[in-house]
Amino acid sequence: MFNKLKVLLLRWFYRWVNRRAWRKVDMSAVSTRDFELAGVVPVRQYRVENAQRVIIYIHGGGWVIGDLESHDPFCRQLAQKNQAMVIALDYRLAPEHRFPAAVEDCVAATRWIIKHRAELLQADSKVFLAGDSAGGNLAAVVANTLATELPDQLAGQILIYPAVRHYTPPTASHIENGKGYGLTYGLMVWFWDNYLGEKRVTENGDIDRLATPLTQPLPEGVAPALVLTASLDPLRDEGAEYAQKLSGHGVDCSHQLYIGEMHGFVCSEGLTDAHQQAMDLISGWIQSLSGHSPASV
C-alpha cells in the first residue's frame, strides 16, 4: 500500500514540477493530437507548419512516474526548435507493468512510425529517436533492437542523461552526486526495483541485458548518437561510458558534458541558459544529419 501511494504522489509531483517550470512560455504555435498507434500505444503528435522531420520522443521518469503531460511543454519546444513533427510515446509504466512492457511498447511504436512515415509526414522524412533519463534508456534499447531489423531507417538517436546501467555496483557519480542534486541514488534504486521486479535477473543471476544498454552487445548498423550528460547528475558516468561504448563500436557518436548542471536541466527546468545551449546543440546535430535548417525560437 505504501509503495502504491508513493507512486501516485510522485507521478502527481513530477507532472506539476515540469508544468510549473514552463508555465510562462508561449507554445501556442504547436498543434497537438492524441491517438493510439495500431490501437495499442497512446501517443501525442506535435506539429508545426512546414515540419521537415519526425522526432519520436520517449519521456523520462524512472519508468514509473513520467507521462505525456509531464513532458508536454518540452515536446512543444522540441517541435518548434527543430521544425519537426514530434511523436511522444505514452508507454506502460511500472510497477503496474514491469519490464519489458515499456520496451515492447516503444519498439512497436517506433517500428510503426518508421513504416508509416509517409502517412504522418512524407515518405522521405528522416526519423530521429530521442529520450531523457529512463526514456534515454528506452531510446537506446529501441535503436539497438531495430538496427538489424530496419537498417538505416533511424537517422539518429538523442540520449539525454540516459540511465543505461543498473545501480549495482555504484559508479563514482552515483556516490558523488547521490544526494543534494535533485535525483538521488536512493530514488534510482527505487525506480530500478519497481521497473524490473521479479524479472530483474536472468537464470544466471545477471541483470537482463535488454534493460541495461551499457551491458547489451551492440549490433551492426546502430544509428548515430548524441549523448548529453550533466556533471552533478548521478547518471553522469554511465552516460559517458555508453557514449564511449558506441564510439568504440564504430558508431558516429558525440558526447557533451554540461558542467554545473543537474539531472533534469534539459526537460524539467524551463528556458534556462543551459537548456537553451542543449537545444541549440541538439538542433545543430539534427541539421547536420538531415540537411535542413531547423527553426529558430
pLDDT in tens, 40-63: 899 999 999 899 999 999 999 999
Scanning the structure block, which residue is given the C-alpha cell 498543434?
31
- Where the chain has pLDDT below 50, the residues are 292-297
pLDDT of residue 136: 98
- Residues marked active site are found at 133, 233, 263
Scanning the structure block, which residue is given the C-alpha cell 504522489?
9
pLDDT of residue 8: 96
Other CB atoms closer than 10 Å to residue 161's CB: what's the count? 29
Q: Which segments of 22-100 does DSSP mark as H helices, in order?
A: 72-82
pLDDT in tens, 218-272: 999 999 999 999 999 999 999 999 999 999 999 999 999 999 999 999 999 999 9
- Cα–Cα nearest to 276, from 252, 254, 258, 289: 258
Question: Which burial class, exposed, middle or buried, applies to 256 when counting CB atoms under 10 A from its CB (0-12, 13-18, 19+)?
Answer: middle
pLDDT of residue 199: 59
Other CB atoms closer than 10 Å to residue 179's CB: what's the count? 10
Antiparallel, parallel or unpaired: β 84-89 and 156-160? unpaired
pLDDT of residue 202: 59
- In angstroms, the CA 95 to CA 162 distance is 20
**Rounded alpha-carbon distances, angstroms, from residue 120 to 79, 108, 128, 150, 175:** 15, 16, 14, 18, 44
**pTM for the model:** 0.95
Task: Decide: helix, strand or coil at residue 233.
Answer: coil
Rg of the chain (C-alpha set): 18
Residues 6+ apart with CB under 8 A from 185: 167, 170, 174, 175, 177, 178, 179, 234
pLDDT of residue 296: 40
